[in-house]
Amino acid sequence: MSYTTSVRSITVRAGIAGVAAVVSVIGGIGLPYYPTVVRAATQMSSADATDYLPDITLTNQYGKTVSLESLKGKPLLVSFIHTSCKGVCELMTAKMKDVADDLGANGTKVTMVSISTDPGDDGPAQLMAYAKKENVANGGFVFLTGKPAAIKQVLEVYGVNQQPGDNEMTHVFELFLIGPDGRQVRRYHGLNIQAAKVADDIQHTLAD
C-alpha cells in the first residue's frame, strides 16, 4: 500500500499593484512567498497504474534532450521546482539532498529528478545555476525543463493543478518515489518528509 500524507493548497494572488512579499507560516515554519499560487498535487490511490515516466521529451541542465521514458530502470525521486522560487523549492531540493546523503553508496542506484514548472524562465543555464547554488551540481541530480506544452503534459501526469495567469507560479509541496517501471511507489508531503524514511523506502524498492 502506498504511503500518503495530507495535502494542503495555499493560494496567494497578486493584485494589479503587486504585493512586496507575503509570509506564510506552515506547520510552524515561516517561509517567504512572493506573489504566487502555491498548490500541491492531488492524492492518488494505491491502485494507481499511471505511467509516471511516459515518452515526453524534456531538456536537462546540460542542454541535452531527455525522454522521461529513458529514465526507467532505476527508482526515481521526483520534485517540481522553479529556479526563482525562494523557500518551498529550496526546501524540496534540500530534502532530496538529505535522502541522497542517507543512501550513501546506494545513491548511485537512484535518480534524483527536479522538473521546472516555469519553462518560460528556466532554461539549462538557470537549472545549472540553481543546482550549483543548492550544492547538488555534482551529485547525480537531473534538472529538467522543456517546452510549455511538454511541461504541461508532465504536470497533468503527476496531478499538479497548474492554473497559469499574470503573476502566478506553481509550487508543489510533494516528492514522488517512482519505481523502475515508471509506477508510483510512494508519495510524501514535503513539510513532513523524513529523509531516513524516504531512504529506507528506496532501499526496499531496490531490493524488490
The pLDDT value recorded for residue 192 is 76
Domain ranges of the chain: 10-207
10-residue mean pLDDT profile of the chain (208 residues): values are 31 31 37 41 57 98 97 96 89 93 92 95 97 90 96 92 57 90 90 88 91
Whole-number Cα distances in Å, 176 to 24, 51, 80, 121: 24, 13, 10, 24
**Considering the entire predicted model, what is its pTM?**
0.78
Torsion of CA 138, 182, 81, 120, to 10 degrees: 100
Query: Which superfamily does 10-207 belong to?
Result: Glutaredoxin (3.40.30.10)
